[in-house]
Structure formats: structure tokens, C-alpha cells
Amino acid sequence: IEPALLRSSDYGVDFYGDTLFTTEAEIAAHPERVAAFVRASMKGWSYALQHSDELIESILGRPGVAERGITRDLLRQEAEVMRGLILPDLVELGHMNAMRWRRIAVEFAQQGLAPPEVSLAGFLWDPDPQADLRGLWWASGLAAAALLAFAIVSLWNVQMGRRVRARTAELRAEIRQREQAELELRASQERLMEQASLLDMARDAILVCDLGRVIRYWNLGAEGIYGWSAGEAIGRRAKDLLADRGDGDIAWAETLASGGWRGELHHRTRDGQDLLVESRWSLVRDESGRPKSVLEINTDVTASRRVAQQLLRAQRLESLGTLAGGIAHDINNLLAPILMGVELVRPEVASSPGREIVATIEQSARRGADLVRRLLTFSRGLEGDRIPLRIDDLVGELRAIVESTFPKQIELVLDLPADAWPVVGDPTQIGQVLLNLAVNARDAMPAGGRLSLRARNVTLDAPRADAAGEIAAGRYLAVEVADTGTGIAPE
């Protein structure tokens, strides 16, 4: 079986080589010593490659070499292999290719052995760049001559010549690419710095996500709106960081399909506050036209939307007040004859059932008049009379209405403490609230049931008052109305 020779360079891996390292301080303090050391090293390698037999004899003369089975033939074979790797006739000893080191850095970064962004500025020491460039041109000419010579000698030399031509072309291309890349890099960096400074001046949140929705850019406006710094946000998924309600998925699909999207999204800040943002998304493509990333610009409209809603609510209340005022006047015109009729009929009604009916009519009419008064008060934006009240008096009136008008199948259960605190308020409004709750309970129990009304003294401290919202700390009377009806359907 003919053995196969595996060369790392055949697979694009050409990291082989001995490298000299020193510090920037040593170069700055002793440049001549550094240059002398490099020249001595290159001279030593050149001598070793030109006098391999002399070195072989020196190695064989060292103690323990022959005992380890190292022979002259093995050393000659190793010297030939090294010469094939170094190519001293084609590539100048000590030549350093910046693009090759960049390839090594990229490979190490992909393997997780180095940070993704490694600067090679000042990494390569070159005392005479122009001389190195002339050497490369000389090497290319020598490569062409060597190709002709090796083609005549043997097939092996022909193959080697092909590799030399490829290597020489690669070196030329690398030089051109390096120069072009440096120019483009400087121009790109200047553009990016200018654009980044402009983006940071914007108050809107500007972010860029890759196709996996991972954040790759986060401006100062985004830090101010969401509370996350760029270091905390970059590398995280936008959906998880901003806690959208799923509407972001729809926007993402629309952006990928049509190239853009505009609408409103619900987001959340770092401290848990809900935000409403007006969002504009644009699909970014690379030079070949393939989707590359998505640019998002978000404007916080939470405060402005809240103001707009408050204005709309005020306009609705104003319209409702005008309507309520008109209705109140119409109802008042209907109640006035009823109350006048009650006054005229009362002296003529002698029987007990008749008096009760007249009293009920009068009570209902006066309750309607109170309702009209409240409607007029609401339409004018005024508050009702606030006087000290006891829950017993309010519930007593409610009990009379329930017992006289509610179905007999509904049982009224009262739980009122004797030491219930008095309250200050409008008796008509509070009574109407209790009556409305009782009527709702009645409607929820068409087949009858139990209507319970319970009162209890409650003291709210500052934390509980803040949790309740729009209420001050202090002493209150809590009134609960419950029923055994059907309740509210889940939907």
C-alpha cells in the first residue's frame, strides 16, 4: 500500500512556523539590539539550511543521540521535509504576512480560544517595510524561474512549481487585499463613528437585531427609555429583554415578508413598568441583497397616549353631563305632576292599604326627584352635600325598599356592628350605590336566594392605602354586598 502524505497546508491550515516575540518596551528602548537579534536568528537559519550535513554531524556527535536510534538518514529526511515547509528559495526567511496572522486570530476566535475582537496593531515588527515589499517581488520572479527549472527535472518539481505559483499569487493578492482592506476599514470606522454619534443623539430607542432577534446594537436613547445599558442589552433576545406580549412576533414576520413594519407595541422597562411605543422596523440587507438584520426605532408614547385618553375621557364626561342635564329636566317635569297628585289624593284616601300605596308612590317619586337632583349636580360638575351619616340609617331605608319591592324568595341578611364608625358623605349618593348593588343582586337571583350586607371598621396604613390607589391612609367603614346568585360568566 502506498502511504499517503497529509499536509496541513492542503487543508488551508498553515499555522506552522517559529516566531520571535519581544515587548514594545524592548523595541522602544533598544531597537538596534532587537534588529541585531533578528538578523542573527535569520543568519543562523540560513546557515542551517545551507549546511545541513554539518548540522547533522554535530547532532550525531552529541551524547545520547545514537542511543535513541537517531540516524543520519533520519536527520537528512527531516531536513528535507523542513526545507519543503520553509521554502527558503521562494519565501524570504523571516517574512511575516499580516493577513495570515489575521486568519490565525479568526480561527482561534471561532474555536473559542481568543476574544472575537483582537487588535493586531503593532503586533508585527518590521524595520524596513519597503525592503520587505521588494523581497516579495523578487520572490515572485524567483518562483517563476524555479517553476521552469523544476518542470524540466521531474514531475514532483512540476507539482511543486504549481504550488509555488499559487502561493505567490496568494501573497500578491494578500498584499493588495491588505492595502484595500486597510483603506476600507479606516473609511468604514470613520462612517460608523459618525453614525454612532448621531444615533446616540436621538431620543428614540434605536436597536439592531440579527435574524435570530439577538440585539447587536443599542443606543443611548434605548438606555434612557428601557433602563438597560448597552452592555446588558447586546447579546440578549429582544423579545425576552423587552417582554413584548407577542405582538412583536407579528411585526417580525411582517418585516421579513415585506421589508418593513410600523405600529404600536407594548414593552416593559428594566424596573417592570409597562410602555407603549410607536415602532418602525426596517429590514437591512447585505451587498448581495440577502436579509442581514432588522433596524428598530421605538418612540415612547406612553405619556402622550395617557394625556390623549384623559382628554377623551373629559370630553365624554362633558357630553354625558350635557345629556344628563337634559334628561334630568325631562324627568323632573314628569315627577312634578305625580308629587302634586299625591298631595291632592292623600286627604281623600282613608283606608290603610290606600295610604300605604300613596306613601309608596310619594316615596318613589321623591327618590326619583333625588335622582334628578344628582343628575343635575353631575351635569354641572358639582359635589353633593356631605354630612355625617350612620350606616344604620342608610341600611334602614334600603331594608324598607327590599322588603316592599323585592320578591319574597330573597332573604335580606344584615351584619352591622354596633360600634360602626360614622362616615361623611352625600346620603342620597351612598344610598343610591347600595340600592344599585341590591338591585344587581336581585337580578342575579331570579329563583330567590340570600342578599347579605356587611359593614366593618377598617384602618388603612400608608402601604395599604398606596396599594389600594387614589385613597389616603386613615379610618374607613367598609361595606360589602354579597348574594347567592349566578355570578358573572367567565367570558
Counting Cα atoms < 13 Å in the Cβ hemisphere of 302 gives 13
Percent of the chain that is helix, strand, coil (3-state, to 5) = 60, 15, 25
Question: What CATH class has 384-491?
Answer: alpha beta
Query: How far apart, in Å, are the Cα atoms of 382 and each of 154, 205, 385?
Result: 112, 44, 10
With the C-alpha atoms ordered 110, 113, 117, 119, is the resulting torsion angle positive or negative? negative
Domain residue ranges of the chain, discontinuous segments joined by +? 8-50+87-188, 202-300, 308-382, 384-491
Cell of 18: 517559529
Res 468: pLDDT: 66
Phi, psi of 479 (to 5 degrees): -115, 125
Between CA 35 and CA 17 the distance in angstroms is 20
Res 10: pLDDT: 56
For residues 167 and 95, the answer to whether their CB atoms sit within 8 Å is no
With the C-alpha atoms ordered 68, 72, 77, 81, is the resulting torsion angle positive or negative? positive
Give, for all 491 residues of the chain, the pLDDT tens digit.
666 665 555 544 555 567 788 888 888 898 889 889 988 888 888 888 888 888 888 888 888 888 888 888 888 888 888 777 777 777 777 777 777 778 777 877 888 777 877 777 777 877 765 544 445 555 555 666 665 565 566 666 667 767 878 888 888 888 888 888 788 867 765 665 566 566 667 788 999 999 999 999 999 999 999 999 999 999 999 999 998 777 888 999 999 999 999 999 999 999 988 899 999 999 999 888 899 999 999 999 988 888 887 787 777 766 766 776 677 778 778 888 888 888 888 777 766 677 788 888 888 888 777 777 766 665 555 555 688 889 888 888 788 778 877 899 999 999 999 999 999 888 877 887 888 899 889 989 988 999 999 999 999 888 877 766 667 888 999 999 999 987 766 55
For residues 296 and 206, the answer to whether their CB atoms sit within 8 Å is yes
Res 453: pLDDT: 93
Q: Model-level pTM greater than 0.95?
A: no
SS3 226: helix
453: closest CA among 394, 413, 408?
413
Res 141: pLDDT: 59
42: closest CA among 20, 26, 25?
20
Q: What is the CATH number of domain 202-300?
A: 3.30.450.20
Residue matched to cell numbers 459618525: 194
- Single-letter amino acid, residue 226: Y
Q: CATH number of the domain at 308-382, out of 1.10.10, 2.60.40, 3.30.70, 1.10.287?
A: 1.10.287
**CB burial of residue 282 (10 Å; 0-12, 13-18, 19+):** middle
For residues 244 and 213, the answer to whether their CB atoms sit within 8 Å is no
Res 133: pLDDT: 47
Res 460: pLDDT: 86
SS3 228: coil
Counts of helices then strands in the chain (DSSP H, E):
16, 10
